[in-house]
Structure 1
Amino acid sequence: MTQGWKRWPVVLAMFACAATMAADGKAQKADTAPMRRETFALDYVVQADGTYVETRESTIKLLKEPGVDYMRQVTVGYSTSTEAVEVLEAYTRKADGRRVDVPKDNYQKSVEGGEGDGNPAFSDRTTLTVVYPDLEVGDTVGLKYRTTVKTPIFDDRFSTVEAFDEARYEGDVRVRIDAPESMQPRWKAWGLKESRNALQDDRRVVEWTWQNRAPVESERKDWSVYSFGDSPSLLYSTFQDNAQIAQAYGVRALPKAVPDDRIRKLADEIAKGKQGERDVAHALYDWVATNIRYAGNCIGLGAVVPRDTTFVLDNRMGDCKDHATLLQALLTAKGIESRQALVNASSSYTLPEVPVVSMVNHVINYLPGLDLYVDSTSDSTPFGSLPPNVAGKPVLLVGGPVAVSKTPAHADERNVHKVDVTMKIAADGSVDGTMSAQFGGMFAEMTRASLRNIDEETRKDLVSKMFQGHTAKGNIAWPDAKPLLDTHSLTADFQVEQLLPVPGAFPVRPPMYVPRPIESLAAQESDTAHPSACVGATFEETYRLEFAEGMQVIAVPPAVTLDGPALRYVATTTRAGNVVTIHRLLEDRAKGPICSAAFNADYAAQLKKVRANVQAQLVYATKE
């Protein structure tokens, strides 16, 4: 169950740049938390055109000095062009009951903008900071502020996700949403009590409450697969289905993908000499992926509306929507059909029954003629592959007949990690060795990404740096790492003086850096009670260790054969005089994108045995 990407603990709304309150903090054990939230009230009043007013009110009790330090400043962020924020109350309730209001002079506003009269390129965010004076342990910090959304993300629509952490103390939580009945709101809650559901003056008012005064720290280790219901949460939407989300996005995005003369000229230049749809599409994808760097867009509706292709080309930057829109324009210019596809790039592998915008927080491209998905925001993923975090997931296709489809799972058979090492060990512990490595699939992508920008001077010093603390020399070399390919390799030779103690012992492992040695894989901890995101792979390592005359090998790692549902592992050791050859083969049988808890349990049990084998030491000494 190879972990090829970082795990995200919750589903994040990355599509939109919503107003946030820094004081929400992180969950901690109840008995160690520096502060706790005694009350939290969240109110939405939604209008039929999709605009709304959001009011947040909270009181936080300061229990320890770190909590005092954390709450001295509370910051609220919002979009200058589409939102307005007003602090309604900011105060401290002292332990003796006195209320101390924060003076207006303690408010600090910072606005991001362009130079002079120019527009900002990345963000028009305003941050409003409230500085609380004279805080001490035992105080309660109160804050109430109102965000008025003047321009909705999507016209005539509203959706939100609210989630809470059972590992964090919550006194009294209340969420209320007031929206026109004509918008046909839908919702579903897990763990929250629906305390009110009323129709008043053609408006539907729904209220939920929750308390968590006895928080329980989660024993879950892996949150790479998240489903609503895994924690107290609420989905609320006026979208009737996911097709409406795709249609709403397409209204603003697709006109940006119409090619102009500049796009047509660029497409011709990039595709010059290429024949056939696949080769042309490959060239266009590589160009966008390697020439347009990723940069977020938090300018007003930039959260859901791509920039103009002219801006993206002029500045060689853009977010996921910009990448997908530019690539679609280039493909269209060459007569290749493509569609943008909305997908969740976080930890959700299903679309909830209540359609919420933030559940599709990333944009990629689909090429129907090749039946191929591509993600040009990744500057290391080859054409024809997808980053693991968007593989095997449902997508909403934009333009044409809206359809819910699915990206293919990661091609596990391409994930190969092979290392061959030869070392001659002198009587004083000095080592003269070589290493070669071949990588496929995700390991090739990782290696290319890490080596791509290493210059010649840095490369010449790599061997000495890898053996820092010893006198070492040698050379490490690799083919050009810049092309986006799913294979890669490297070779190295090294001479290190007195690297090993004599007599001594060591676990047999690659002497130089490789992305995923078997020892590293065996050291990972699996969550045996929950499903997890996973990909399969094959690992192979061969070591030929030749000891000098006058030395003797006393003990070697044992041979092991494991063959179960989760993995197959075969380790052999042979001895011929003073030459020891160790061969290890591990086949990770994970079939992604999700591995079940039962699979993880078997994987963990087998991996424990692998760990014992790779940690077994080779023991040697001088002959008496």
Structure 2
Amino acid sequence: MKTIKYIIFFSICFVISCTTSLPYSSLTKHNLREILSTYPKQQDHPDTAAIALLSYSKIEMLKDGTQIAQHIKRFKIFNERGYHLAKKSIRYREGYEQVKIFYANTIMSDGTIVSLDKKDIKDYSPYSEDELYTDIREKKFTMPGIEPNCIVEYAYEITSVKPTLPYDLFDYVFIQHRIPLKENILEIILPKGRALQMAYFKTDMKPSVRESDGKIHYTFKTLDQPEIISEPDMPEIVDRDVFPQYYCWTLGDWSIVSKWYADLTKQQMQSNAELELFTQELIAGQKTEKDIIRAIFYFVSQKIRYVAVELGPHTHQPHLAHEIFKKRYGDCKDKTTLLLVMLRIAEIEGLPCLVPSVPEAFDKSAPTIHAFDHVIAVVPKKDGAYYWLDATNEVASVDAVPFDAPRDVLLVNMDGSYKFIKTPAPDDAKDYADLQRSVIVKESGDVSTEDINYFYGKVAEDLRYEFKYMSPEKRKQYFEKKGMEVSNLELLNLTELELPFIIKVKGSKKNHVQKLEENVMILSDVVKIPTYDDLTASKTRKYPISFDTFYLTKRKHIYHFPQGYKLRTIPVNFKREDPFNEIQIKYNLAGNVFSIESKSKDFRYKIQPYEYDAFKNNALERQKYKKSVSNIILEKE
């Protein structure tokens, strides 16, 4: 081995004082020859870009509820695909958290040490170009001297001096990652009298626990974990039924969260004469409770711009309701607070609901404010149901379901009590797409088309929003990109949110029907059916295939053939009812008019690895059918 060299760019003021001790010092303090010779090589892990040699975190809660977190990371980067591990961003809240970096080094393959220069650490706002004004900042750096088979290491500390909610510690740990993990350690230290609660999934590991100097130390440790090798449509890493993981928390129950949030919100639910007068004028003449709710909800969702000013306490506390009204902007909690105050002026009870940021990972048994990143309002109905009012959704109707799949949300009463309620699923009778097309086929193979597409309920929202902010030319280009020469485009009910959004478009397509011979034409690829070709090429699966819900889609395409043409063969109707997809296709021929009608809907479902062969056989039947109808032949008599 070459002589080990030291290139030190790390100024002395950048290193924390010697009074701070770390359980794992920099490799530069040890015999590098011995250490480097023991580390894994690329041939030991041929499919991966790197290996995590060490991932260490220590979170200590102090008696006043503040926290100090130390993190040490060490990677061996095998090849260029692993270079992203040489970049690091440390997020913190200015004025609420403090960051110290202890060391950051690159150890090159020949043992040369290149240390990070303090001036190469950039401190900036990650949201400077967004409609978000925040004291969240990032210390960001990229390690120097990166090359294949180098090692990068860094250690840093984040001290919480003003916690969001004191004594709320929550940490989620995934035991496996996209690269192998040699040693993973989490240490949590609590003052005596504070209890750590834990939940485990797909693992039998448990922490070691010891008491020392009035503190309880919990240490979680896992070794030599293999990498997760990606497969198409595999579950997300938060899936507790598939990937080993655990999480820890310290709050005793959800009432701590609900009372805290209720107190924050009540302080800001302040009206004034201007807001009260405006609200009374807005609802004047509205005859029913629903009419009043509609008028207020549409005003807040459509006329109050979404702008997030999350400075100081306002990461979680709304601004004053009358200030939001005056400025005509706010984020989700601001808009919800204004909505609730206006409803109160109208003598209607509304309540806030906290919405989990990752619904699939949300656990009602693990209370923490860190689970949420969104707020909506609900108004109870007499039948026990609710109006679900997401004031940030400017294209939602007053009757809309809030999300595309059910999820648990935390309803907060103003007395600090709470309950969990589940949002409803979209309704196939109200939330669906109905796509209708009429095609006139010419002798040349060119076609003229007329589409009338109806989008109902929740299905309409994304398209409504997209088309609302498109210029007329962009709207036209939307269809031109699909190969249509547009002659007329009409949008109906773009802003009438309780009516279906209708898009009417007329146009033409060249050579849409292929003319093989003088009297033979082929209509190709007009039958839409999911065949899952991308999921059936592998011989085996290690992980499940994860399907998600998608709305009901109806289609009816009518083809008018030139006089004298007929189908060589009428396709056979098709129907499948699988747990992940239901589809039905019907054909009809009347004279020279040929129609294809279909219904299709996807469902949330997982195909387990042991079911993979059966799934492939299922998909094969779909593929065979699609090929059988991929070319529909027209012949002239």
Normalising TM by the smaller chain, what interval? 0.7 to 0.9
2:526 equivalent to 1:509: yes
TM alignment of 1:113-124, pairs within 5 A: 122-124=133-135
Native 8 Å contact 1:242 1:396 kept in 2: no
After superposition, give the CA deviation of every residue in 1:347-406 in whole Å (9 maximum; x if it has no partner).
327534232333333221121245413222222222122232563424343423322332
For 1:513, the equivalent position in structure 2 comes to none
For 2:464, the equivalent position in structure 1 comes to 448
For 2:557, the equivalent position in structure 1 comes to 543
Measured in 2, the distance between the counterparts of 1:606 and 1:543 equals: 26
Q: Gaps spanning 5+ residues in structure 2: where?
A: 1-41
Greater Cα shift, 448-457 or 521-530: 521-530
Native 8 Å contact 2:167 2:251 kept in 1: no
Native 8 Å contact 1:161 1:358 kept in 2: no
Amino acid at match of 1:413: A
2:144 equivalent to 1:130: no
Measured in 1, the distance between the counterparts of 2:361 and 2:100 equals: 37
Measured in 1, the distance between the counterparts of 2:617 and 2:427 equals: 25
SS of alignment partner, residue 91 of structure 1: strand
For 1:223, the equivalent position in structure 2 comes to 235
How far residue 553 of structure 1 moved from its aligned partner, in angstroms, is 3.2
For 1:95, the equivalent position in structure 2 comes to 109
Native 8 Å contact 2:574 2:585 kept in 1: yes
Measured in 1, the distance between the counterparts of 2:237 and 2:531 equals: 20
Measured in 1, the distance between the counterparts of 2:228 and 2:110 equals: 31
How far residue 491 of structure 1 moved from its aligned partner, in angstroms, is 2.3
After superposition, give the CA deviation of every residue in 1:550-575 in whole Å (9 maximum; x if it has no partner).
54533443222445666654433333
Q: Percent identity?
A: 17
TM alignment of 1:459-478, pairs within 5 A: 459=475, 464=480, 466-467=482-483, 472-478=485-491
Measured in 2, the distance between the counterparts of 1:492 and 1:50 equals: 61
Which among 76, 90, 95 is matched to residue 90 of structure 2?
Answer: 76
Native 8 Å contact 2:580 2:605 kept in 1: no
SS of alignment partner, residue 508 of structure 2: strand
**Greater relative CO (CA pairs within 8 A, separation 6+):** 1
Native 8 Å contact 1:257 1:329 kept in 2: yes
2:160 equivalent to 1:143: no
For 2:226, the equivalent position in structure 1 comes to 214
Greater Cα shift, 215-224 or 121-130: 215-224
CA 1:98–1:301 in 2, change beyond 3 Å: closer, same or farther? Answer: farther
After superposition, give the CA deviation of every residue in 1:134-193 in whole Å (9 maximum; x if it has no partner).
232222111111111110111343333333434431111110111112233322344373
For 2:341, the equivalent position in structure 1 comes to 329
Q: TM-score, normalised by structure 1?
A: 0.81
TM alignment of 1:508-527, pairs within 5 A: 509=526, 518-519=528-529
TM alignment of 1:330-409, pairs within 5 A: 330-348=342-360, 351-369=363-381, 371-372=385-386, 373-389=388-404, 391-400=406-415, 401-409=417-425
Native 8 Å contact 2:579 2:605 kept in 1: no
2:184 equivalent to 1:173: yes
CA 1:265–1:614 in 2, change beyond 3 Å: closer, same or farther? Answer: farther
CA 1:229–1:542 in 2, change beyond 3 Å: closer, same or farther? Answer: closer
Amino acid at match of 2:596: I
CA 1:533–1:312 in 2, change beyond 3 Å: closer, same or farther? Answer: farther
For 1:17, the equivalent position in structure 2 comes to none
CA 1:234–1:49 in 2, change beyond 3 Å: closer, same or farther? Answer: farther
CA 1:571–1:93 in 2, change beyond 3 Å: closer, same or farther? Answer: closer
Which among 508, 520, 527 is matched to residue 495 of structure 1?
Answer: 508
SS of alignment partner, residue 485 of structure 1: coil
How far residue 279 of structure 1 moved from its aligned partner, in angstroms, is 1.2
After superposition, give the CA deviation of every residue in 1:493-545 in whole Å (9 maximum; x if it has no partner).
223444432124233539xxxxxxx54698896999467553562x3322322
For 2:286, the equivalent position in structure 1 comes to 274
CA 1:269–1:82 in 2, change beyond 3 Å: closer, same or farther? Answer: farther
For 1:12, the equivalent position in structure 2 comes to none
Native 8 Å contact 1:507 1:617 kept in 2: yes
CA 1:328–1:481 in 2, change beyond 3 Å: closer, same or farther? Answer: same
Greater Cα shift, 72-81 or 389-398: 389-398
Greater Cα shift, 260-269 or 33-42: 260-269
Greater Cα shift, 145-154 or 340-349: 340-349
For 1:419, the equivalent position in structure 2 comes to 435
Measured in 2, the distance between the counterparts of 1:192 and 1:96 equals: 40
Native 8 Å contact 1:37 1:171 kept in 2: yes
2:87 equivalent to 1:43: no
Amino acid at match of 2:334: D
For 1:242, the equivalent position in structure 2 comes to 254
Measured in 2, the distance between the counterparts of 1:63 and 1:596 equals: 34
Which among 567, 575, 583 is matched to residue 589 of structure 2?
Answer: 575
Native 8 Å contact 2:531 2:622 kept in 1: no
How far residue 53 of structure 1 moved from its aligned partner, in angstroms, is 0.8
Greater Cα shift, 521-530 or 348-357: 521-530
Native 8 Å contact 1:444 1:486 kept in 2: no
Measured in 1, the distance between the counterparts of 2:467 and 2:478 equals: 11
Amino acid at match of 1:239: L
How far residue 209 of structure 1 moved from its aligned partner, in angstroms, is 0.7
Measured in 2, the distance between the counterparts of 1:492 and 1:614 equals: 27
Amino acid at match of 1:186: Q
How far residue 295 of structure 1 moved from its aligned partner, in angstroms, is 4.2
Amino acid at match of 1:128: K
After superposition, give the CA deviation of every residue in 1:57-103 in whole Å (9 maximum; x if it has no partner).
111112113434x3554332211121110111112223344544323
Q: TM-score, normalised by structure 2?
A: 0.80
Measured in 2, the distance between the counterparts of 1:430 and 1:314 equals: 57
Aligned residues: 575
SS of alignment partner, residue 328 of structure 1: helix
Amino acid at match of 2:498: L
RMSD over equivalenced CA pairs, Å? 3.6
CA 1:253–1:525 in 2, change beyond 3 Å: closer, same or farther? Answer: farther
Measured in 1, the distance between the counterparts of 2:206 and 2:505 equals: 64
How far residue 223 of structure 1 moved from its aligned partner, in angstroms, is 3.4
For 1:5, the equivalent position in structure 2 comes to none
Native 8 Å contact 1:85 1:145 kept in 2: yes
Amino acid at match of 2:398: F
For 2:82, the equivalent position in structure 1 comes to 67
How far residue 298 of structure 1 moved from its aligned partner, in angstroms, is 4.9
Greater Cα shift, 379-388 or 528-537: 528-537
For 1:53, the equivalent position in structure 2 comes to 68
Amino acid at match of 2:92: Y
Native 8 Å contact 1:60 1:140 kept in 2: yes
Measured in 1, the distance between the counterparts of 2:49 and 2:579 equals: 45
SS of alignment partner, residue 414 of structure 1: coil
Measured in 2, the distance between the counterparts of 1:433 and 1:332 equals: 51
SS of alignment partner, residue 515 of structure 2: coil
CA 1:402–1:74 in 2, change beyond 3 Å: closer, same or farther? Answer: closer
Native 8 Å contact 1:425 1:548 kept in 2: yes
Native 8 Å contact 2:233 2:546 kept in 1: no
CA 1:561–1:71 in 2, change beyond 3 Å: closer, same or farther? Answer: closer
Native 8 Å contact 1:167 1:215 kept in 2: yes
For 2:174, the equivalent position in structure 1 comes to 163
Native 8 Å contact 1:112 1:124 kept in 2: no
